[in-house]
């Protein structure tokens, strides 16, 4: 009787697996993935809806797919096959949904377009930045206060070598990849050099400086190169902004890109990010500027990203 039950269970399992054969496709590494589309595409990511509006209005031959409640739109932009989607705000959402797009679509490159807070005092609201590398600046040790005003790392933590901000000591993250399966500690995740070269070639993009009757004091500019940092906090603090610029020489900060860069590194997929300043992360006079200039920044980033796609071969 027991042997008969075992044979029956095995038969049911085999039938169930055979029913999945039409849904799942075998990858080159032998794994099973629910590939929704076989066309090689560039993944175009934004964090929230205002950042993606202009791009969704431009996409040709759109088709919708849904995974875990996230809408993915395939089609073409500037003649390039793409899949557009919202990562959601902050690091965990960006990590999770970037991996989803890599698992469910045939992705050749990753491009992020969105807004950011300005850190470099030489940059202004509306400017578009394309950093050469991104780090996770809020990956920190929170150290104990050993004497008044002095915060000391435990002796077994050796990688908190960057200057601290009070009790907060920045640290690299642990990461590995198919190309480098051994765990390493890494702070900076580099954008793809070829994609950066194309970004440096972009000229004559008409960056907006007015929207809904609100105008910037100067015409925005495109800045390619330098550093960007990301973390799971909305930053609107002058002192921490100054520390971030001094410690990381960051041009901008946001809440997603370094997470996307880490996933791209782990999967061996080239990436780049276009970020336009919507605010000065606490460095401006008066209230935070994001509510006023978010639309200008979101559209400026999208315009430069579209120029990049047009130039990309």
The rounded distance, in Å, linking the Cα atoms of 93 and 46 is 11
Residue 121 near residue 252 (C-beta atoms within 8 A): no
> Is a pLDDT exceeding 70 seen at residue 21?
no
pLDDT for the residue numbered 178: 87
Query: Average of pLDDT values for 21-40?
Result: 61
pLDDT for the residue numbered 114: 97
Segments forming the whole domain that contains residue 111: 34-311
**Is residue 169 a part of any domain in this protein?**
yes
> Is a pLDDT exceeding 60 seen at residue 85?
yes
Number of domains present in the structure of the chain: 1
**Is residue 59 a part of any domain in this protein?**
yes
Match 């999967």 to its residue by tokens.
Answer: 267
> Is a pLDDT exceeding 50 seen at residue 1?
no
**Is residue 127 a part of any domain in this protein?**
yes
**Is residue 24 a part of any domain in this protein?**
no
**Is residue 80 a part of any domain in this protein?**
yes
| φ, ψ at 54 (rounded to 5°) | -60, -40
The rounded distance, in Å, linking the Cα atoms of 141 and 138 is 9
The rounded distance, in Å, linking the Cα atoms of 184 and 218 is 44
Model confidence pLDDT, tens digit, residues 220-255: 999 999 999 999 999 999 999 999 999 999 999 999
**40 three-state secondary structure:** strand
The rounded distance, in Å, linking the Cα atoms of 273 and 14 is 45
| φ, ψ at 183 (rounded to 5°) | -65, 130
Model confidence pLDDT, tens digit, residues 140-171: 999 999 999 999 999 999 999 999 999 999 99
| φ, ψ at 275 (rounded to 5°) | -135, 125
**Is residue 21 a part of any domain in this protein?**
no
**Is residue 265 a part of any domain in this protein?**
yes
> Is a pLDDT exceeding 80 seen at residue 23?
no
Strands (E) in 159-240, as ranges, are 168-170, 173-175, 184-186, 188-190, 210-211, 214-215, 222-224, 227-230
**Is residue 9 a part of any domain in this protein?**
no
pLDDT for the residue numbered 13: 41
pLDDT for the residue numbered 33: 56
> Is a pLDDT exceeding 70 seen at residue 200?
yes
CATH code of the domain covering residue 200 = 3.40.50.1580
Give this prediction's pTM: 0.89
Structure tokens belonging to residue 214 = 């609100």
DSSP 54: H
The rounded distance, in Å, linking the Cα atoms of 214 and 237 is 24
């Amino acid at each position: 009787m027991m042997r008969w039950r075992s044979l029956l269970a095995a038969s049911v399992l085999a039938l169930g697996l055979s029913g999945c054969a039409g849904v799942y496709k075998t990858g080159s590494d032998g794994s099973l993935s629910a590939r929704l589309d076989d066309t090689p595409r560039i993944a175009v990511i934004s964090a929230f809806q205002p950042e993606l509006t202009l791009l969704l209005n431009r996409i040709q031959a759109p088709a919708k797919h849904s995974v875990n409640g996230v809408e993915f739109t395939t089609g073409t932009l500037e003649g390039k096959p793409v899949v557009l989607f919202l990562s959601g705000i902050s690091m965990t959402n960006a990590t999770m949904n970037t991996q989803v797009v890599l698992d469910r679509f045939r992705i050749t490159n990753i491009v992020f377009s969105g807004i950011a807070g300005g850190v470099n005092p030489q940059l202004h609201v509306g400017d578009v930045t394309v950093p050469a590398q991104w780090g996770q600046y809020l990956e920190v040790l929170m150290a104990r206060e050993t004497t008044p005003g002095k915060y000391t790392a435990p002796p077994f933590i050796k990688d908190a070598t960057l200057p601290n901000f009070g009790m907060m000591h920045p640290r690299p993250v642990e990461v590995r990849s198919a190309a480098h399966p051994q765990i390493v500690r890494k702070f900076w995740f580099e954008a793809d050099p070829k994609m950066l070269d194309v970004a440096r070639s972009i000229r004559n993009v008409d960056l907006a400086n007015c929207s809904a009757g609100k105008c910037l004091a100067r015409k925005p500019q495109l800045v390619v190169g330098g550093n960007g940092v990301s973390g799971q906090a909305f930053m609107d603090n002058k002192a921490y902004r100054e520390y971030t610029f001094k410690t990381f020489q960051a041009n901008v900060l946001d809440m997603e890109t370094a997470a996307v860069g880490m996933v791209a590194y782990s999967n061996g997929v080239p990436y780049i990010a276009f970020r336009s300043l919507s605010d000065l992360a606490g460095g401006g006079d008066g209230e935070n500027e994001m509510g006023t200039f978010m639309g200008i920044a979101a559209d400026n980033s999208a315009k430069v990203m579209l120029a990049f796609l047009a130039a990309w071969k």
